[in-house]
Protein backbone atom coordinates (compact mmCIF):
# COMPACT_ATOMS: atom_id res chain seq x y z
CA UNK A 1 0.00 0.00 0.00
CA UNK A 2 2.75 2.38 0.99
CA UNK A 3 4.64 1.62 -2.22
CA UNK A 4 1.62 2.54 -4.36
CA UNK A 5 1.20 5.88 -2.60
CA UNK A 6 4.91 6.68 -2.99
CA UNK A 7 4.84 5.74 -6.66
CA UNK A 8 1.82 7.91 -7.34
CA UNK A 9 3.40 10.83 -5.51
CA UNK A 10 6.58 10.57 -7.56
CA UNK A 11 4.64 10.38 -10.86
CA UNK A 12 2.56 13.40 -9.89
CA UNK A 13 5.68 15.32 -8.95
CA UNK A 14 7.33 14.47 -12.26
CA UNK A 15 4.26 15.58 -14.20
CA UNK A 16 4.09 18.86 -12.28
CA UNK A 17 7.76 19.48 -12.84
CA UNK A 18 7.40 18.74 -16.55
CA UNK A 19 4.47 21.15 -16.80
CA UNK A 20 6.38 23.90 -15.03
CA UNK A 21 9.43 23.40 -17.25
CA UNK A 22 7.26 23.45 -20.39
CA UNK A 23 5.56 26.73 -19.39
CA UNK A 24 8.93 28.28 -18.55
CA UNK A 25 10.38 27.36 -21.93
CA UNK A 26 7.35 28.74 -23.77
CA UNK A 27 7.64 32.09 -21.96
CA UNK A 28 11.38 32.25 -22.64
CA UNK A 29 10.92 31.79 -26.41
CA UNK A 30 8.11 34.37 -26.95
CA UNK A 31 8.80 37.30 -24.62
CA UNK A 32 12.38 38.21 -25.64
CA UNK A 33 11.48 38.15 -29.36
CA UNK A 34 8.68 40.63 -28.86
CA UNK A 35 10.85 42.96 -26.80
CA UNK A 36 13.64 42.92 -29.41
CA UNK A 37 11.32 43.78 -32.26
CA UNK A 38 9.74 46.56 -30.24
CA UNK A 39 13.15 48.09 -29.49
CA UNK A 40 14.12 48.00 -33.18
CA UNK A 41 11.00 49.95 -34.14
CA UNK A 42 11.62 52.46 -31.37
CA UNK A 43 15.20 53.02 -32.52
CA UNK A 44 14.10 53.82 -36.10
CA UNK A 45 11.34 56.26 -35.25
CA UNK A 46 12.76 58.13 -32.27
CA UNK A 47 16.51 58.23 -32.72
CA UNK A 48 16.88 58.23 -36.49
CA UNK A 49 20.12 58.25 -38.41
CA UNK A 50 22.69 60.60 -36.95
CA UNK A 51 24.23 63.33 -39.18
CA UNK A 52 27.92 63.90 -39.23
CA UNK A 53 29.02 67.08 -37.43
CA UNK A 54 28.76 70.10 -39.76
CA UNK A 55 26.81 68.30 -42.48
CA UNK A 56 23.25 68.68 -41.20
CA UNK A 57 21.27 71.06 -43.47
CA UNK A 58 17.68 72.12 -43.30
CA UNK A 59 15.40 72.17 -46.32
CA UNK A 60 15.26 75.98 -46.16
CA UNK A 61 19.06 76.26 -46.19
CA UNK A 62 19.24 73.98 -49.23
CA UNK A 63 16.74 76.15 -51.12
CA UNK A 64 18.66 79.35 -50.37
CA UNK A 65 21.87 77.80 -51.67
CA UNK A 66 20.30 76.61 -54.92
CA UNK A 67 19.06 80.08 -55.84
CA UNK A 68 15.65 81.71 -56.25
CA UNK A 69 13.84 84.36 -54.22
CA UNK A 70 12.81 83.34 -50.73
CA UNK A 71 11.22 85.09 -47.80
CA UNK A 72 12.34 84.81 -44.18
CA UNK A 73 10.25 81.66 -43.73
CA UNK A 74 12.06 79.97 -46.60
CA UNK A 75 9.11 80.06 -48.98
CA UNK A 76 10.00 80.74 -52.59
CA UNK A 77 8.74 83.99 -54.03
CA UNK A 78 8.81 85.05 -57.66
CA UNK A 79 9.74 88.57 -58.78
CA UNK A 80 6.73 90.81 -58.96
CA UNK A 81 5.26 91.78 -62.30
CA UNK A 82 6.26 95.37 -61.54
CA UNK A 83 9.93 94.40 -61.21
CA UNK A 84 9.84 92.44 -64.46
CA UNK A 85 7.99 95.07 -66.46
CA UNK A 86 10.13 97.92 -65.12
CA UNK A 87 13.20 96.29 -66.62
CA UNK A 88 15.37 96.90 -63.57
CA UNK A 89 18.93 95.58 -63.80
CA UNK A 90 18.52 94.25 -60.27
CA UNK A 91 15.51 94.49 -57.93
CA UNK A 92 15.71 97.70 -55.99
CA UNK A 93 18.50 99.41 -57.94
CA UNK A 94 16.22 101.94 -59.59
CA UNK A 95 18.04 101.80 -62.94
CA UNK A 96 16.02 100.85 -66.02
CA UNK A 97 17.89 98.72 -68.54
CA UNK A 98 19.17 100.61 -71.63
CA UNK A 99 17.11 98.69 -74.17
CA UNK A 100 13.88 99.31 -72.27
CA UNK A 101 14.84 102.91 -71.50
CA UNK A 102 15.29 103.59 -75.21
CA UNK A 103 11.93 102.04 -76.01
CA UNK A 104 10.22 104.16 -73.35
CA UNK A 105 11.83 107.55 -73.91
CA UNK A 106 13.21 107.79 -77.45
CA UNK A 107 10.25 109.64 -78.94
CA UNK A 108 10.12 112.14 -76.07
CA UNK A 109 13.90 112.60 -76.05
CA UNK A 110 14.00 113.18 -79.80
CA UNK A 111 11.35 115.85 -79.41
CA UNK A 112 13.28 117.46 -76.56
CA UNK A 113 16.69 117.58 -78.24
CA UNK A 114 15.11 118.94 -81.42
CA UNK A 115 13.34 121.70 -79.48
CA UNK A 116 16.55 122.54 -77.61
CA UNK A 117 18.51 122.73 -80.86
CA UNK A 118 15.96 125.18 -82.27
CA UNK A 119 15.55 127.19 -79.05
CA UNK A 120 11.87 126.34 -79.13
CA UNK A 121 10.96 127.50 -75.62
CA UNK A 122 7.27 126.59 -75.98
CA UNK A 123 7.95 122.94 -76.82
CA UNK A 124 10.65 122.70 -74.16
CA UNK A 125 8.21 124.11 -71.62
CA UNK A 126 5.61 121.50 -72.57
CA UNK A 127 8.15 118.77 -71.82
CA UNK A 128 9.34 120.16 -68.47
CA UNK A 129 8.20 118.48 -65.26
CA UNK A 130 5.04 120.30 -64.05
CA UNK A 131 6.07 120.20 -60.39
CA UNK A 132 9.87 119.96 -60.21
CA UNK A 133 10.77 122.11 -63.20
CA UNK A 134 14.12 121.53 -64.91
CA UNK A 135 17.54 121.72 -63.21
CA UNK A 136 20.61 122.98 -65.09
CA UNK A 137 23.96 121.37 -64.21
CA UNK A 138 27.09 122.80 -65.90
CA UNK A 139 29.50 119.96 -65.01
CA UNK A 140 28.33 116.38 -64.45
CA UNK A 141 27.86 116.51 -60.66
CA UNK A 142 24.29 117.46 -59.77
CA UNK A 143 24.00 119.88 -56.85
CA UNK A 144 20.57 120.13 -55.28
CA UNK A 145 21.66 123.24 -53.38
CA UNK A 146 23.49 125.21 -56.09
CA UNK A 147 22.11 124.24 -59.50
CA UNK A 148 19.62 126.67 -61.06
CA UNK A 149 16.06 125.39 -61.50
CA UNK A 150 13.54 126.89 -63.93
CA UNK A 151 9.89 126.06 -63.46
CA UNK A 152 7.70 125.03 -66.37
CA UNK A 153 6.20 128.49 -66.83
CA UNK A 154 9.57 130.24 -66.56
CA UNK A 155 11.03 128.34 -69.52
CA UNK A 156 8.71 130.21 -71.90
CA UNK A 157 10.81 133.38 -71.50
CA UNK A 158 14.15 131.57 -71.10
CA UNK A 159 15.83 133.02 -74.19
CA UNK A 160 14.45 136.53 -73.62
CA UNK A 161 15.52 136.70 -69.98
CA UNK A 162 18.34 139.26 -69.63
CA UNK A 163 19.09 138.60 -65.98
CA UNK A 164 22.43 137.00 -65.12
CA UNK A 165 22.24 134.01 -62.79
CA UNK A 166 24.87 132.21 -60.76
CA UNK A 167 24.91 128.74 -62.36
CA UNK A 168 27.90 127.35 -60.50
CA UNK A 169 31.68 127.68 -60.81
CA UNK A 170 34.03 127.25 -63.75
CA UNK A 171 36.17 124.16 -63.71
CA UNK A 172 39.83 124.93 -63.11
CA UNK A 173 39.61 128.62 -62.20
CA UNK A 174 36.77 128.21 -59.73
CA UNK A 175 35.31 131.53 -60.81
CA UNK A 176 31.57 132.03 -60.55
CA UNK A 177 29.50 131.33 -63.65
CA UNK A 178 27.39 134.47 -64.01
CA UNK A 179 25.52 134.27 -67.32
CA UNK A 180 22.14 135.11 -68.79
CA UNK A 181 20.06 132.06 -69.81
CA UNK A 182 20.95 132.58 -73.48
CA UNK A 183 24.66 132.82 -72.66
CA UNK A 184 24.44 129.73 -70.49
CA UNK A 185 22.66 127.90 -73.32
CA UNK A 186 25.54 128.61 -75.71
CA UNK A 187 28.21 127.57 -73.22
CA UNK A 188 26.64 124.80 -71.11
CA UNK A 189 23.62 123.44 -72.98
CA UNK A 190 23.89 123.35 -76.76
CA UNK A 191 27.63 123.96 -77.01
CA UNK A 192 27.79 121.44 -79.88
CA UNK A 193 25.30 120.00 -82.36
CA UNK A 194 24.10 117.34 -79.94
CA UNK A 195 21.04 116.54 -82.03
CA UNK A 196 23.47 114.89 -84.44
CA UNK A 197 25.72 113.41 -81.78
CA UNK A 198 28.29 110.76 -82.57
CA UNK A 199 26.66 108.40 -80.09
CA UNK A 200 23.48 108.36 -78.01
CA UNK A 201 23.10 106.35 -74.81
CA UNK A 202 19.98 105.52 -72.83
CA UNK A 203 20.79 105.02 -69.15
CA UNK A 204 24.36 104.36 -70.25
CA UNK A 205 27.29 106.46 -69.10
CA UNK A 206 29.16 107.23 -72.32
CA UNK A 207 31.42 109.94 -70.93
CA UNK A 208 33.39 110.06 -67.72
CA UNK A 209 35.52 112.86 -66.33
CA UNK A 210 37.13 113.64 -63.00
CA UNK A 211 33.87 114.63 -61.32
CA UNK A 212 31.58 112.27 -59.46
CA UNK A 213 28.59 110.79 -61.26
CA UNK A 214 25.44 111.11 -59.16
CA UNK A 215 22.49 111.58 -61.51
CA UNK A 216 21.06 108.15 -60.73
CA UNK A 217 21.19 108.90 -57.00
CA UNK A 218 19.75 112.41 -57.17
CA UNK A 219 16.89 111.80 -59.57
CA UNK A 220 14.00 109.45 -58.88
CA UNK A 221 14.29 106.32 -61.06
CA UNK A 222 15.23 108.44 -64.08
CA UNK A 223 15.97 107.78 -67.70
CA UNK A 224 19.12 109.66 -68.71
CA UNK A 225 19.71 110.20 -72.42
CA UNK A 226 23.27 111.18 -73.26
CA UNK A 227 24.34 112.79 -76.55
CA UNK A 228 28.08 112.25 -76.86
CA UNK A 229 31.01 113.41 -78.98
CA UNK A 230 34.32 111.63 -78.36
CA UNK A 231 36.33 114.64 -79.53
CA UNK A 232 36.80 117.21 -82.27
CA UNK A 233 40.49 117.96 -82.69
CA UNK A 234 42.81 114.94 -83.09
CA UNK A 235 45.63 116.95 -81.50
CA UNK A 236 43.81 116.82 -78.15
CA UNK A 237 43.62 113.02 -78.27
CA UNK A 238 40.04 112.89 -77.01
CA UNK A 239 40.41 115.40 -74.20
CA UNK A 240 37.99 117.73 -75.98
CA UNK A 241 35.06 115.32 -75.69
CA UNK A 242 31.66 116.74 -74.75
CA UNK A 243 28.20 115.45 -74.01
CA UNK A 244 24.74 116.63 -73.08
CA UNK A 245 22.47 114.59 -70.81
CA UNK A 246 18.72 115.01 -70.67
CA UNK A 247 17.16 113.59 -67.52
CA UNK A 248 13.54 112.42 -67.48
CA UNK A 249 11.32 111.34 -64.61
CA UNK A 250 7.89 109.73 -64.71
CA UNK A 251 5.00 111.72 -63.28
CA UNK A 252 1.33 110.72 -63.40
CA UNK A 253 1.96 108.27 -66.23
CA UNK A 254 4.08 110.55 -68.42
CA UNK A 255 7.82 111.23 -68.70
CA UNK A 256 9.02 114.81 -68.20
CA UNK A 257 12.31 116.67 -68.51
CA UNK A 258 13.75 117.37 -65.04
CA UNK A 259 17.45 117.88 -65.71
CA UNK A 260 19.91 119.14 -68.32
CA UNK A 261 23.49 118.12 -67.56
CA UNK A 262 26.44 119.39 -69.56
CA UNK A 263 29.55 117.25 -69.45
CA UNK A 264 33.10 117.68 -70.71
CA UNK A 265 36.70 116.95 -69.80
CA UNK A 266 37.59 118.65 -66.53
CA UNK A 267 40.84 119.33 -64.71
Per-residue pLDDT, 45: 34
Instruction: Kindly report, residue by residue over 150-171, the tens digit of the pLDDT.
Output: 999 999 999 999 999 999 999 9
- CA separation for the pair 114, 50 (Å, rounded): 74
Average pLDDT of the residues in 189-212: 91
Where does 90-264 sit in CATH, by number?
A: 3.10.450
Are 217 and 201 in contact by the 8 Å Cβ rule? The answer is no
pTM of the full structure: 0.67
**Domain residue ranges of the chain, discontinuous segments joined by +:** 2-50, 90-264
Residue 261 phi, psi dihedral angles, 5° rounding: -115, 120
Q: What is the mean pLDDT of the chain?
A: 78
Instruction: Kindly report, residue by residue over 66-110, the tens digit of the pLDDT.
Output: 333 334 343 434 444 444 444 555 444 468 999 999 999 999 999
**CA 143 to mean position of chain CA atoms:** 25
Residue 38 pLDDT more than 90? no
Residue 242 pLDDT more than 90? yes
Per-residue pLDDT, 149: 99
- CA separation for the pair 15, 186 (Å, rounded): 130
Instruction: Give the strand pairing for 176-179 and 199-202.
Output: unpaired
Per-residue pLDDT, 205: 87
Amino acid sequence: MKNNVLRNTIVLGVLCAALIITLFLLNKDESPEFTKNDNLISNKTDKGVEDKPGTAQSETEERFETGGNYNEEGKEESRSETDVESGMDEPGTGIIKPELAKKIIKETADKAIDAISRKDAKTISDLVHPVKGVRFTPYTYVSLEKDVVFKKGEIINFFEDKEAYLWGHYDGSGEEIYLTPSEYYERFVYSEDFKNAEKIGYNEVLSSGNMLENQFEVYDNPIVVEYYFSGFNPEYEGMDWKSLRLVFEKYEGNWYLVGIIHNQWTI
